[in-house]
Amino acid sequence: MSDASIPVLKLDHVHKRFGDYAAVTDVSEMFAPGELICVIGPNGAGKSTLLNMICGTLSVSEGSITFGDTAIDGRPPEQIARLGIARKFQMPSVFESLTVIDNLRLAGPAHSDDEWLDEMLEKIHLHDDRDVLAADLPHGKKQWLEIGMALAMKPKVLLLDEPTAGLSVDETRDTAGFLKELEGRVTVIVIEHDMAFVRELGARTIVLHNGSVIASGPFEEIENHETVRDVYLGRR
């Protein structure tokens, strides 16, 4: 999958219903290899549900999701992960009973050596916390550790659910820089509420409202989109 014109991930008329409640309605999107995409929208818009369906932790009610040329809807999360889709959850989901290095070791290749793991630790600024229990890390470092774990899987698609929640201004800026470095190499789909962060990324932005896509395009256009301003960003 090196041809940039072929989508790495394709959502085709995807729906998710919980009983009578429609959490996601008729979402169709295509994501190019190496593309950085932001997904924004008010709480309850269906953003996390969308990521949950992509990574297999929720089933698709209707429609299909294709990764490269492989249909992945209906597959269990471990199979989807093995294909190359990594996920960071909204709440930091690190293994608190394990050390930082063991968290990374589990996420990374089975034969990963210490040198490779140390490089990963450097990347996520956790080198000094190598043998610290994940439970003892502050919130921001847990966020970084989980991003590191997702990257350690060497994914083709990285799904990040609110990676900057609870981070300081400096940490948020670092995260933006870090994600921009990944652009062109890994397809990154980021759910965010922090508009300054989304603006900093300057990526294509998809806006969800009541489970449907109401706008999609460069963030500068989204910021001035009438409906988006009405339902989410507000008018200044």
Partner 1 sequence: MSTNDHKKPIRAVGKSWSLRPSTVIAIIMLALLAAMPTLVGGYTLSSYRDILLLGLFALSLDIFWGRTGILSFGHATFFGIGAYGMAIASIRFGIDPYWVSLAGLLFGVGLASLAALAVGYFILYGGVRGAYFTIVTLALTLIANQIAVGWSSVTGGDSGLIGVPPFSVFGYSFGSSTASFYLALGILAVCLLTALRIMHGRLGILLTAIQDNELKVRTLGYRTQFILLMTFVASAAMAGLAGAIYATGTGFVAPDLIALLLSTEVIIWVAVGGSGTLTGAVIGTFVVWQLQQKISSVSIAAWPIFIGSFFILLVLVFPKGLPAFFMEKLRLLGKREGADG
Rounded Cα distance, 59 and 11, in Å: 13
Min dist CB 147 to partner 1, Å, is 13
Question: Measured from the CB atom, is 74 or 76 closer to partner 1?
Answer: 76
Backbone phi, psi, residue 69, to 5°:
-110, 20
Using CB under 8 A as the binding rule, the residues of this chain from 39 to 58 that contact partner 1 are 55-57
Return the residue of 16, 75, 87, 209 that touches partner 1, per CB under 8 A: 87
Q: Which residues, 6 or more positions from 230, have their beta carbon under 8 angstroms from its beta carbon? A: none
Question: Measured from the CB atom, is 81 or 176 closer to partner 1?
Answer: 81
Look up tokens 């409202």; give the residue.
209
Closest to 40 in 3D by CA, of 235, 226, 199, 236: 199
Rounded Cα distance, 204 and 217, in Å: 5
Name the token pair of 37.
């995409």
Instruction: Select from 23-31, 147-155, 195-203, 221-229 the region that touches partner 1 (CB under 8 A).
Output: 147-155
Return the residue of 28, 70, 168, 224 that touches partner 1, per CB under 8 A: 70
Binding flag, residue 82, partner 1 (CB under 8 A) = yes
Binding flag, residue 10, partner 1 (CB under 8 A) = no
Single-letter code of the amino acid located at 112: S
CA 172 from centroid of its chain's CA atoms: 15
Binding flag, residue 81, partner 1 (CB under 8 A) = yes
Residues of this chain that bind partner 1 (CB under 8 A): 1, 8, 55-57, 67-70, 76-78, 81-84, 86-87, 89, 93, 95-98, 102-103, 105-110, 149, 153-156
